[in-house]
Structure 1
């Protein structure tokens, strides 16, 4: 993969930093602790070509600019001699680049003539720590180390700890609602089961493992259990879906400063998306009476963000195409890392 242009530590001299233009090093090095400019370094001025020198043959012949006058010839009032061309910059014409025939000189900036090699010079390889490879040294195919964390719509992803605490707060509030609305049905259900469990505990204390003569569990107890689960599911739906449809936040999410947003755009979820999101986690409540099957499904859904990378989506997020992000503490546009300052590490 290509390396983005920018200022990086020179692998040949860790005490300096140079500009990488995507294909090669560009410009003069600067100290590693100096603040690099925003863009590439300014190009070096092109050298002035030197006119060929011709020796003077007679006193009447004028001297060539840049050459001393011939002995005995009058001084010539001509243009000032051309300055000598500056020597090639250490950053141009000396860095090796891979090629079909080995290492060759690297081209200089625009306007510079091609840099040749001294007579008899044979390419023997690059500077220390360089190998015959396209990217800068130390780079391998793929992203070096851990890739950056995605930021949907410019917001940071919510951590699992925040999401768990927010869900526990919401469960506590839904449980309080059930205590008010569902309390009488729960008391009736426990009253129907009491004779059976009292006899079971008495026999267990006596060491009696026989099940003969146990009080039967009435059909009304099974009906009450279904009613309790339906009411609990309805209370959870009424608590969560309208709040999530509006701004993607329940009370627990407000406290923990997180919210759910669609992956496609930063906008409200809407009732349909909020219902799909809740139903994946909330509807299994009706299956609690099936040997705890519903509770097992909800546990798997609650743990699924730990295994989803890189967006940390739960199963209900995947179904509704949502992602949970942190809400900034201050108002204003979210901060983005469009132009991060390069660190002192080698690219």
Structure 2
């Protein structure tokens, strides 16, 4: 793709938009949201009885209960991320790091595109037991390190979003 093609719709030059968020800001925001995910996971393990089973049977797991907890966790996290991004473009982590998700074409809050972004980020987590989800998550988040010119992860590309500073 030529530079001219990148600056014409649907790939604007970001004129008028805040500066792009740095990979460090994005990583720190994901760490904070990872804490949210960890709380959801712990609650889901408790709700399904998987946590109790693990304490009563050290070194063993009830795979059915763990899978139920995983489905609950990914569903709740998808709802968290989708709702937050659709409404404000910011999860708790992004708010803390003062960054936000913006629609690439116009800089607006993502709305429906926030749900697309959340789905592409979250739902592969259901494949963690077969390692595919973990590999996708790693590839997804490091993609921004070589993506030019907008430093987008795969979930950004799918939703046609970009992450920018929330402070001007």
Normalising TM by the smaller chain, what interval? 0.7 to 0.9
Task: Determine the structure 2 residue equivalent to 1:155.
Answer: 18
Corresponding residue SS for 1:323: strand
Residue 95 of structure 2 is aligned with which of 254, 270, 273? 254
Deviation, 1:182, is: 3.0
Which stretches in structure 2 are left out of the alignment for 5+ residues? 1-12
Separation in 2, partners of 1:310, 1:193: 51
Q: Contact (CA 8 Å) 2:45, 2:66: kept in 1 or not?
A: no
Within the alignment, does 1:318 sit opposite 2:157 as a pair?
Answer: yes
Corresponding residue SS for 2:79: helix
Separation in 1, partners of 2:66, 2:15: 42
CA 1:159 to 1:230, structure 2 compared with 1: closer, same or farther past 3 Å? same
Separation in 1, partners of 2:137, 2:53: 24
Q: CA RMSD in A?
A: 2.2
Task: Determine the structure 1 residue equivalent to 2:7.
Answer: none
Task: Determine the structure 1 residue equivalent to 2:148.
Answer: 309
Task: Determine the structure 2 residue equivalent to 1:265.
Answer: 106
Separation in 1, partners of 2:94, 2:144: 16
TM-score by length of 1: 0.42
Within the alignment, does 1:190 sit opposite 2:54 as a pair?
Answer: yes
Which stretches in structure 1 are left out of the alignment for 5+ residues? 1-149, 199-216, 330-347
Q: Contact (CA 8 Å) 2:150, 2:162: kept in 1 or not?
A: yes
Alignment: residue pair count: 156
CA 1:189 to 1:152, structure 2 compared with 1: closer, same or farther past 3 Å? farther
Higher helix share: 2
Deviation, 1:238, is: 2.1
The one of the two structures with greater contact order (alpha-carbon pairs below 8 A, sep at least 6) is 2
Deviation, 1:180, is: 2.9
Residue 39 of structure 2 is aligned with which of 161, 172, 176? 176
* CA deviations over 1:166-212 (Å, ceiling 9, x no partner): 01001102212332343243314525863xx48xxxxxxxxxxxxxx
TM-score by length of 2: 0.83
* CA deviations over 1:65-111 (Å, ceiling 9, x no partner): xxxxxxxxxxxxxxxxxxxxxxxxxxxxxxxxxxxxxxxxxxxxxxx
Return the index of the structure with the highest Cα Rg.
Answer: 1
Q: Contact (CA 8 Å) 1:189, 1:225: kept in 2 or not?
A: no
